[in-house]
Amino acid sequence: MSAATSLAEAGADVKTMFNRVARRYDAANRIMSAGIDVVWRKKAITRLLDGLGEAPRILDLGAGTLDGALEVARRAPGARVAAADFAAEMLRAGRKKLPPGAAIDTHAADGHHLPYGRGAFDGAFSAFCVRNLRDLRQGLAELRRVVRPGGRVVILEFLRPEKRRFFFDLYNNHVLPLVGWAVTGDRAAYRYLPDSIAAFRSPEEFVALLREVGFDEATATPLFPSGVASMVVAS
């Protein structure tokens, strides 16, 4: 099995990059994905909340501009949500979207050293975050630590395709960076995206690592359109 190393693990300054693009991040995402990222997030959070009760404790790791945390709160009004991200500007942009009285607490926190106790959460959600951890094994082990035994973790991520796909490669390597650059004015940030996918783990490698850090079960399911994103469920 490949000992893959992501760009973040190789030293890319991801925190600074996300802080730079925070103000235009949502606009770029909606345009580049044609809104399909909203569908992916809803599907993943439905899977996350199934069977966790009416008032679950949920961690949104790499919460960014809080789209995931807000969706959890909409689906489960009794939930207590901790939204953690190391990029303070992303959280600042997201807090502007919070409705009055939302049970969402935002924490500027590093995923490698989370400020929560063992088993603090019933479940955790993470969308397009783990590819940006500088030590993937440590970050996933922290996620395992803060979710109670029997809890559930659902991860949305761009995993490296097992086989090359012409249209996927064409869009990722050429169209996507141009659109991201046009919307945000930051060419480097949207060159990082396809490069980081190409350097990341395959679904098989990622699931194997989840099991190595203590998750009893882990499965990866490709999302439509095939080869673009995967939903990984671990418990």
Q: In this model, does residue 169 exceed pLDDT 80?
A: no
Mean pLDDT of 46-68: 97
Cα separation, 63 vs 130, in Å, equals 11
pLDDT at 192: 82
Q: In this model, does residue 149 exceed pLDDT 50?
A: yes
pLDDT at 161: 82
Sign of the CA dihedral running 75, 77, 83, 89: positive
| Three-state secondary structure readout of the chain | CCCCCCCCCCCCCHHHHHHHHHHHHHHHHHHHHCCHHHHHHHHHHHHHHCCCCCCCEEEEECCCCCHHHHHHHHHCCCCEEEEEECCHHHHHHHHCCCCCCCCEEEEECCCCCCCCCCCCEEEEEEECCHHHCCCHHHHHHHHHHHEEEEEEEEEEECCCCCCCCHHHHHHHHHHHHHHHHHHHCCHHHHHHHHHHHHCCCCHHHHHHHHHHCCCCCEEEEEECCCCCEEEEEEC
Task: Read off φ and ψ for residue 81, nearest 5 degrees.
Answer: -115, 130
pLDDT digit string, tens, across residues 174-232 = 556 655 556 567 767 778 888 888 889 999 999 999 999 999 999 999 988 766 789 99
Domains in the chain, ordered, with CATH? 35-163+202-234 (3.40.50.150)
pLDDT band (50, 70, 90) for residue 8: very high
Q: Given the DSSP bridges, would you call strands 104-108 and 218-223 parallel, antiparallel or unpaired? A: unpaired
Is the CB of residue 65 less than 8 Å from the CB of residue 25? yes
Cα separation, 62 vs 60, in Å, equals 6
